[in-house]
Amino acid sequence: MNGTNGAIDTSTSGCDRNSRRRRAEVPLENVRYFLPKSGTSSDSPELGQEIGTEGEALVQAFKSGQVFYTVVAWRAVPEMNGSEPKIVKQALSPT
């Protein structure tokens, strides 16, 4: 997470400069936080209780000895780059 602008950085850190994917910054208001459903594992995760904020998710995960998951919903939208159309992703706000 980038603490300077309130967004999550989804860049790939293990790639060299030429093959690195474009950074996609997601505003924090588009991120949802979940604890796992009881009895599930990280190999086959299922979302359980939704938590309101990242801070609350950190505390609940720490207290229960669990991980927590972040979810962002994306919509594919067209974008014109000069005369060439391309499809880009747009983060959806939780409803």
Residue 4 has pLDDT above 50, yes or no: no
pLDDT in tens, 27-83: 778 899 999 999 888 899 999 999 999 999 999 999 999 999 999 999 999 999 889
Determine the pLDDT at residue 41.
87
What is this structure's pTM? 0.66
Q: Is 4 exposed, middle or buried (0-12, 13-18, 19+ CB in 10 A)?
A: exposed
Domain spans of the chain, in order of start: 31-95
Residue 3 has pLDDT above 50, yes or no: no
Six token digits for residue 19: 């093959």
Q: Distances in Å between the alpha carbon of 54 and those of 3, 8, 46, 72? A: 13, 12, 18, 13
Six token digits for residue 24: 């996609």
